Structure 1
């Protein structure tokens, strides 16, 4: 059974004080963990419950073991060769020391998020004056894929919460903002718009939508991402509080050592201060859940004016179910705004239920979410055809939009997606 956590808090606006966010609580709903998350202006935000963190002593051991392997490979060279490289202008041993220091800087942010998570998930006593520590039973359980997720999360801070990442954000979030502005012009009498952001990641798009006056709700299944986003939104004290080194985990395709060791300050803006100083800001909330499990029920039917799917649809093993759930959640006349490539996440990684013949009827009340059996991959034109088959009316379709994703601008190798951007509308009642 896929475990899902659901946020239900309603965030309103208190006149004269900017947006106000209710503290988190937790309540059980059968097999689902139900989490309510918030942003607090001048108040403490709480998470209750226990979940995995993005850091672990074993993860650091693996990181430094990898670094040590570079040193061992270096000394395995012929003596005359490593002595040449140890001297200027190469100073390779000093480079390894600098990598060590940069890893420690990244790890300091990870440890801070862990401490925040230990308190907010109830593992550590928030009233205790003692420094929170990772429980002994957690030591050594981190796997290589956990390390990859932690490293990916650090790198994604560059995209979502650094000033330099604005180029990537503009490429992907800009089309969403413009489409929503067109919706506001189409319905000038509409007082407020509810926007759902599945696959919200580190929460920047949700934050920016709130900043622009929308009622924004983010959904994310990764607790690595959720813990990191909750920390950056709720608990950072100032802008540019942390320094990250997103490019130090690889030695390939660097023009110089200085580009490899380029650092960035995060967050580029302080979320709580920014929203408190923003007139007519909206509201925001984040929920931890499998998208299909949470939003496929009747309580979310016809609940949203728009769904902003940014680099999200290709995470679907079964895109039909994604689109059916999105269609169900949209109000009549609501729009699905898509920006992203088709890097199908489940290609060559088929989930379980091998041998399932698919003859049984699908029971949405007992869905396993992304763990449901079956998967397929479509081309962009086939995706558009499927969107229309589900019942949407495609009103706009652009291709070949350049969209970099966590890319070092100085790298000798850059991957730039040629993303597809389209807007599809759920027909009005009676149309």
Structure 2
């Protein structure tokens, strides 16, 4: 087990969201969305399609029910895939109820999920493909690889065994894969996440899975669009691709790390711009790494000021990602939570930091972002032009490809 301590908004070592009415509401909504996943996915994905299928003229039904189409069998296969995904949702739900000592039979939290929560649980389950399936490795390498290489370059004068003395903050840690890889490379790592959907899922995958490839996931089951072959829709992947506890034990031995991974890895729950502006975090970290994160800011200045506050003088900020500004006026409307296959929808609906920042918002181009970072107290060490593409929970065989050309830069605090 990887004991990822959870740090509260006030800097304490324990979180009690049930003591705050708004936090309790958000937690209950997340938990209930995991509970409802199975029923909602079946209803929206297969039940309504069966109704439409049986409304066709009988001659047309006969054609589509026979070989090579077999649509009723396709719907049965999708139902089986949904059940496998829902088994994960149920496991995460049971763990969350136990963690927060919530009565599973209580009516207080049941029915709390909103349509946005249902969209988030769909996106969170799909994100397991990106972060914890072998098939998601190309996406991870395109995004996490440059960040890890940048860290190793910035602290290249430090022996791997002594990397445990380098403290790294990962805001918007999501399902924890980048945080895990940073810890696995020998660094002391603290991840931060505000979404209970992401926190509950990352806690399960890091701390409670029992081995590699122990759970089946069907990432594309909920969408019938843009498949070149029907088998692609019901593709099975297995998660996690590696057993986190075992991998960290191996890396500790291989690096001869002066601190065990259990002492170097923690997760915080809360608002990045509130928690990390607290006095105890002033100059606390040697590095901050942000991946597909800064465009979640309504006010990017607040993010930059927070990073500056919690970095040591001379500390580095490594960033990689696009600029899909989540609060842009007129942004694409969220699609039905069980029919969309859009990677943009997955990115929009993470909303990891909704609630961060005061009133007002703005959007900048990449060159303006870099200039703003410089203006607010950083020296740009490296700023790579866009030379590669990165998907975000993207089926590489889909007829629709949503690809980003992310910006990469490293800045050093003056």
Matched, 1:150 2:121: yes
Equivalent residue number for residue 243 of structure 2: 270
- Whether the 8 Å contact between 1:292 and 1:325 is mirrored in structure 2 is yes
Displacement of 1:77 after TM fit? 2.0
3-state SS, counterpart of residue 287 of structure 2: strand
The separation in 2 between residues aligned to 1:173 and 1:420, in whole angstroms, is: 13
149, 156, 159: which is aligned to 1:185? Answer: 156
Displacement of 1:403 after TM fit? 1.4
Structure 1: where are the runs of 5+ without partners? 10-23, 35-48, 125-132, 351-367
Pair 204,297 (structure 1): closer, same or farther in 2 beyond 3 Å: same
| Aligned Cα root-mean-square deviation (Å) | 2.6
Range with bigger deviation, 314-323 or 290-299: 290-299
Equivalent residue number for residue 68 of structure 1: 47
Displacement of 1:274 after TM fit? 1.8
Matched, 1:256 2:229: yes
Pair 26,377 (structure 1): closer, same or farther in 2 beyond 3 Å: closer
118, 121, 137: which is aligned to 2:97? Answer: 118
Equivalent residue number for residue 84 of structure 1: 63
- Whether the 8 Å contact between 2:378 and 2:412 is mirrored in structure 1 is yes
Equivalent residue number for residue 101 of structure 1: 80
Deviations 1:375-409 (A, max 9, x none): 00101111111111111111111132311111111
TM normalised by structure 1 equals: 0.80
- Whether the 8 Å contact between 2:289 and 2:317 is mirrored in structure 1 is yes
Higher RCO structure (Cα 8 Å, ≥6 apart): 2
- Whether the 8 Å contact between 1:304 and 1:329 is mirrored in structure 2 is yes
Equivalent residue number for residue 140 of structure 1: 111
3-state SS, counterpart of residue 185 of structure 1: coil
Pair member with larger Rg: 1
Pair 420,201 (structure 1): closer, same or farther in 2 beyond 3 Å: same
The separation in 2 between residues aligned to 1:398 and 1:383, in whole angstroms, is: 13
Equivalent residue number for residue 209 of structure 1: 182
226, 242, 246: which is aligned to 2:215? Answer: 242
Matched, 1:336 2:314: no
Deviations 1:255-309 (A, max 9, x none): 1111111110000111112222322254110011010010012211111111000
357, 363, 366: which is aligned to 1:380? Answer: 366
Displacement of 1:321 after TM fit? 0.6
TM normalised by structure 2 equals: 0.84
How many residues are aligned here?
A: 371
3-state SS, counterpart of residue 136 of structure 1: coil
The separation in 2 between residues aligned to 1:342 and 1:292, in whole angstroms, is: 19
The separation in 2 between residues aligned to 1:305 and 1:261, in whole angstroms, is: 44
Displacement of 1:243 after TM fit? 0.3
Pair 299,285 (structure 1): closer, same or farther in 2 beyond 3 Å: same
Larger helix proportion of the pair:
2
